[in-house]
Structure 1
Amino acid sequence: MIRDRLAIAYSRQKSYVDNRKRALEFEKVGNVAYDLKLPNDMACVHPVFYVPILKKFPGDTTSILPVEGLGVDENIYYDEVPVEILDRQVKWMKNKKVATVKVLWTNHLDEGAT
């Protein structure tokens, strides 16, 4: 009886996964690496990515910034410069006052301010 119920539960879970699964195509380089074909404007990015560090990205177009105006050098680095102080607060942490400042940095949206 327990084996039958486990088999039914397994079958149900497998059908859920099968409905949501989609095929992804990569050119395999090794056991844990893939060689991605990137556009020409991303030629300075190393095209081999290791599977354990790949994550699914839901495709939020508001978080994509154009590379052209960022001042990115060939090592994919750019300088972050504070643009504006958006907010100041003083909070009590146990017996201490802690000042916090929210700063808008270059090349970031308002939501990315820290």
Structure 2
Amino acid sequence: MYDVFHVSMLRRYRSDPSHVVPVEEVELRPDLSYEEEPIQILERDVKVLQKKSVPLVKVLWRNHGSEEASWEPEEAMRQQYPHLF
């Protein structure tokens, strides 16, 4: 059984020409994958393990929002994308 409150909150969408969703083209490979490209380092941190420390960077990727940024090993990012540092 549906909760009456939740059902009453649903409304039909009314078309509005001012509602525009920006579209970004992504170049796909034949296998439908695409190349990720980092655009900015947002944060730095160090993960402390039992016998060593691993420097990490939080990376913002093209075609993704900041909520989808990922933590990556700093050394690997430095080698692959030196222009970010």
Question: TM-score, normalised on structure 2?
Answer: 0.48
| Higher normalized contact order (CA 8 Å, seq sep 6+, divided by chain length) | 2
Structure richer in helix, relative to its length: 1
TM-score, structure 1 normalization: 0.38
Larger radius of gyration: 1
